[in-house]
Amino acid sequence: MSAALPTVSREIQLASRPLGRPAQENFRIAESGVPELQDGQVLVRNQFMSVDPYMRGRMNDAKSYSAPFRLDAALDGGAAGEVIASRSDAHKVGDVVVHQLGWREYAVVDAAAATPVPAGLAPTSAFLGALGMTGLTAYAGLLKVAEFKAGDVVFVSGAAGAVGSMVGQIAKAMGASRVIGSAGSPDKVARLLDLGFDAAFNYNDAPVLEQLQAAAGEAGIDVYFDNVGGEHLEAALSVLNAGGRVAMCGAISQYNSTEPAAAPRNLAVAIGKQLTLRGFLVGGQRQHAAEFAAKMAVWLRDGTVRYDETIVDGLENAPQAFMDLLDGANTGKMLVRL
């Protein structure tokens, strides 16, 4: 490698596996050598990295849809940055790409695993959020998994988060008759109403079922986009109309739990109401990426969809940003700027 290129990179490693809520001692900042580029690879200086709820599950040594993070090794996840060296015809120096080797300053990435960011469409950070996997999760979960149709009443939990805020706005853009969101603070509730939600409530104010019934009224709900699980899912099952659909995206209320979840206790109502509950992973929805990207680009350009970001500066602060995410401290997408 050229002498001008970095030979050492700082990274965040998993020092130990958390039991319950992660703590600072579960992480460490370390340095590692930057490997020499091989044919078909690029060296990326990361500018933004994403912290996401699914990462909590990967910190456990348990079989799941995604391999556990290794101890004493760098974590990984979505990141965007500038190519500073290339041995690939696909990406040249100066290109901005999105890839999956976050939690480090510099990443050697196979060219095939780096997605170019189109210049001028939106800020780089948006390609980790509204124009990235976050937006695709919202779009495909609502339209393909929950089979949303115009006129539906939609309820979104964790609605001020990165995915939830997109779901509500997409539902409105596609003709929902009413969109209801839950969030964890008065400021977040106000933001949801500003983003065009028809109703929103603070789940800390009163039982979720009580507030959801009041927001939905006689119309009930047709679609529930679940980011939370637990009490929210139980409430939604009670309020869903016959033939209602649930897109099960996440269950953040349970990610740090050490005991089995108490709810939902009313799953049997799904029989009589002929409900559909369908879990999904965004990785299984990539066939819709081009359709999503085309629509989202228009929605962002004309202001139909807006997005929020909570940006934390400094790689060393990534563990705290992740812990804050699990505690709901973010509005919109939680990102770390390197």
8 A C-beta contact, residue 285 and residue 140: yes
Nearest to 300 by CA among 156, 158, 139, 126: 126
The reply to whether 29 falls in a domain is: yes
Q: Say what the pLDDT of residue 258 is.
A: 83
Q: Say what the pLDDT of residue 256 is.
A: 86
Q: Say what the pLDDT of residue 332 is.
A: 95
Tell me, yes or no, whether 163 and 108 share the same domain: no
CA 247/CA 242 separation, integer angstroms: 16
**Is the alpha carbon torsion for 83, 88, 92, 98 positive or negative?**
negative
Tell me, yes or no, whether 164 and 262 share the same domain: yes
Tell me, yes or no, whether 46 and 108 share the same domain: yes
8 A C-beta contact, residue 80 and residue 102: no
The two beta strands, 309-313 and 333-337, are: parallel
What 54-63 contacts at long range (C-beta under 8 Å, 24+ apart), as own/partner pairs, is 54/250, 55/322, 56/18, 56/22, 56/255, 56/256, 56/326, 57/255, 59/14, 59/17, 59/18, 59/22, 59/26, 60/17, 61/17
Tell me, yes or no, whether 242 and 167 share the same domain: yes
Tell me, yes or no, whether 146 and 277 share the same domain: yes
Tell me, yes or no, whether 90 and 171 share the same domain: no
Q: Say what the pLDDT of residue 65 is.
A: 83
CATH of the domain at 214: 3.40.50.720
Report the helix count and the strand count for the chain, using DSSP H and E: 9, 15
Question: Who's near 273: CB < 8 A, 6+ residues apart?
Answer: 240, 241, 242, 243, 244
Q: Say what the pLDDT of residue 2 is.
A: 47
Amino acid sitting at position 169:
Q
Domain that holds residue 71: 8-129+308-337
How many Cβ atoms are within 10 Å of 218's Cβ, its own excluded?
Answer: 5
The reply to whether 63 falls in a domain is: yes
Q: What are phi and psi of 158, to 5 degrees?
A: 55, 40
* DSSP-assigned letter for residue 145: I
Tell me, yes or no, whether 116 and 138 share the same domain: no
pTM: 0.94
Question: Who's near 28: CB < 8 A, 6+ residues apart?
Answer: 12, 13, 15
- Count the domains in the chain: 2
The reply to whether 301 falls in a domain is: no
Tell me, yes or no, whether 258 and 312 share the same domain: no
For the chain (length 338 residues), average pLDDT per consecutive 10?
Answer: 80 97 98 96 98 95 90 97 97 97 98 93 94 97 98 98 97 98 97 98 98 98 97 98 97 86 92 98 95 95 96 98 96 97
The reply to whether 138 falls in a domain is: yes
